[in-house]
């Protein structure tokens, strides 16, 4: 997927079993993906966000632990 901030970075999410770090992906009844845990780019734009029900939810200090 492309970084949602618009910087053009490609984020590779590894959701295969046995690979670390990895993310769990769940899709709801309308096929909208939810990722756990949050995605945090350690380099580049350092975006930190959640993907919940197909929507990007930006992590802000007050709602993000
Ligand atoms: Zn970015």
How close is the Cα of 26 to the center of ligand 1, in Å?
23
pLDDT digits (tens, 9 = 90+) for 35-65: 998 888 888 898 999 999 999 999 877 766 5
Rg (CA), the chain: 12
Quote the mean pLDDT of the chain: 85
Question: Rounded to 5 degrees, what are φ and ψ at 6?
Answer: 95, 10
Q: Residues with beta carbon < 5 A to ion ligand 1? A: 3, 5, 7, 9, 45, 47
How close is the Cα of 45 to the center of ligand 1, in Å?
5
Mean pLDDT of the region 15-31: 82
* pLDDT at residue 43 in the model: 83
């Amino acid at each position: 997927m492309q970084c949602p901030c618009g910087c053009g970075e490609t984020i590779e999410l590894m959701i295969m079993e046995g690979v670390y770090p990895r993310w769990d992906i769940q899709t709801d009844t309308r096929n909208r993906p939810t990722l756990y845990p949050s995605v945090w780019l350690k380099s580049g734009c350092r975006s930190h966000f959640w993907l919940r029900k197909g929507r990007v939810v930006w992590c802000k200090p007050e709602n993000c632990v």
